[in-house]
Amino acid sequence: MVFTSRNFVLSRRTFELTEQGQVTDRYTKAIDVRIGGIYALERIARDSERDHPTVVEVLIAFIREHSHEPWPTSEPGTNQASPQAARADVRAAIAVVGRRDARRDIRPIELTRANLAGADLIGADLTRANLSDANLTGANLTDANLAGASLFAARLDGANLTRAHLGRANLTLVSLNYANLSAANFQGANLSAARLGGANLGGADLGGADLAAADILGRPPRPRWMGGTNLTDTLWPEDAPVPEGWKLDTSSGRLTPAESSPGSGEAN
């Protein structure tokens, strides 16, 4: 009886795992179909000027509706999503939106509170987009255009914004801890109460930016391998106090380490 009972339990468990695996497999295939449909819509938008705005609107609605839905793991018997990464179909949709022809659709992108963590937005045109309270943790925004965008209370920890254009963007309460902001343009941006602990601002342009109550040299939780905030060659606003450990070169308006030594460039 004990042997029979154990066999029954094992058989039932095997059946449950197989069934869950089939559900996950069907779900993944359905997502693959969605991704194919997203790229098909991109081709339509590219070929048809008349349909371009409608396609973009459909994709934005899709991102807003599905960005917070769980993504199943590959392990059978689990139904947990990654706490950070956005779904693959959502990442595909936002990548397509970022590549849209802004000349055909001048309406601002509305993605408030969307989960876009890990999204690939290299060179994306997000001019005047509303990304307030959005999750862009670890996103790649290299060379992206975010001029005039609203990133109020958005999370961009660990994001790559190398050479990104954020002129006159609203970055109030934004979290940019350990983000790569090298050579980024923040001219006239509002960085009030922003968190930039451990960020790389080397060569960034902060001319005219509002840094009221911004936490530049904060110490948020971090992996041990991460260094401190790098402000080397940052173009600093004339009316903003110089951070501790740095000095302002009055001729260039850029920051250098207060006690420079070979290989220095971080405030620890």
CA distance 46 to 55: 10
- Highest mean pLDDT: which range of 1-5, 92-96, 141-145, 228-232: 141-145
Residues present in the chain in total: 268
Task: Give the range of the structural domain holding residue 193, as residue numbers without chain letter.
Answer: 108-268
Of 151, 153, 135, 47, the C-alpha closest to 94 is 135
State yes or no: pLDDT of 82 exceeds 50. no
Say if 128 falls within a structural domain.
Answer: yes
State yes or no: pLDDT of 59 exceeds 90. yes
What are the Cα distances from residue 79, in Å, to 14, 20, 105, 146?
A: 17, 9, 38, 35
Say if 265 falls within a structural domain.
Answer: yes
Of 227, 222, 189, 220, the C-alpha closest to 205 is 189
Say if 130 falls within a structural domain.
Answer: yes
Q: Which pLDDT belongs to residue 123?
A: 95
- Highest mean pLDDT: which range of 11-15, 25-29, 126-130: 126-130
Same domain, 230 and 177: yes
Same domain, 168 and 234: yes
Say if 203 falls within a structural domain.
Answer: yes
Same domain, 116 and 242: yes
CB 149 within 8 A of CB 124: no
Share of the chain above pLDDT 70, in %: 76
Same domain, 21 and 121: no
Same domain, 266 and 167: yes
Same domain, 160 and 245: yes
CA distance 209 to 130: 19
Say if 223 falls within a structural domain.
Answer: yes
Give me the amino acid identity at 168: R
Three state DSSP letters for the chain: CHHHHHHHHHHHHHHHHHHHHHHHHHHHHHHHHHHHHHHHHHHHHHHCCCCHHHHHHHHHHHHHHHCCCCCCCCCCCCCCCCCCCCCHHHHHHHHHHHCCCCCCCCCCCECCCCECCCCECCCCECCCCECCCCECCCCECCCCECCCCECCCCECCCCECCCCECCCCECCCCECCCCECCCCECCCCECCCCECCCCECCCCECCCCECCCCECCCCCCCCCCCCCEECCCCECCCCCCCCCCEEEECCCCEEEECCCCCCCCCEC
Mean pLDDT (the chain, rounded): 82
Q: Which pLDDT belongs to residue 134?
A: 96
Say if 145 falls within a structural domain.
Answer: yes
Q: Which pLDDT belongs to residue 199?
A: 92
Of 90, 26, 100, 95, the C-alpha closest to 64 is 90
Say if 266 falls within a structural domain.
Answer: yes
CATH at 198: 2.160.20.80
Same domain, 92 and 127: no
Same domain, 36 and 165: no
Weakest mean pLDDT among 38-52, 65-79, 238-252? 65-79
Can you give the C-alpha Rg of the chain in angstroms? 23
Same domain, 93 and 21: yes
Say if 77 falls within a structural domain.
Answer: no
**Would you state the structure tokens that stand for residue 172, as one six-digit string?**
């109030």
Same domain, 233 and 131: yes
Q: Which pLDDT belongs to residue 31?
A: 58
Same domain, 141 and 159: yes
Give me the phi and psi of 192, to 5 degrees please: -60, 130
Same domain, 213 and 153: yes
- CB atoms inside a 10 Å sphere around CB 262: 4
pLDDT band at 7 (very low <50, low <70, confident <90, very high): low
Share of the chain above pLDDT 90, in %: 51
46-62: average pLDDT: 91
What is the number of domains present in the chain?
2
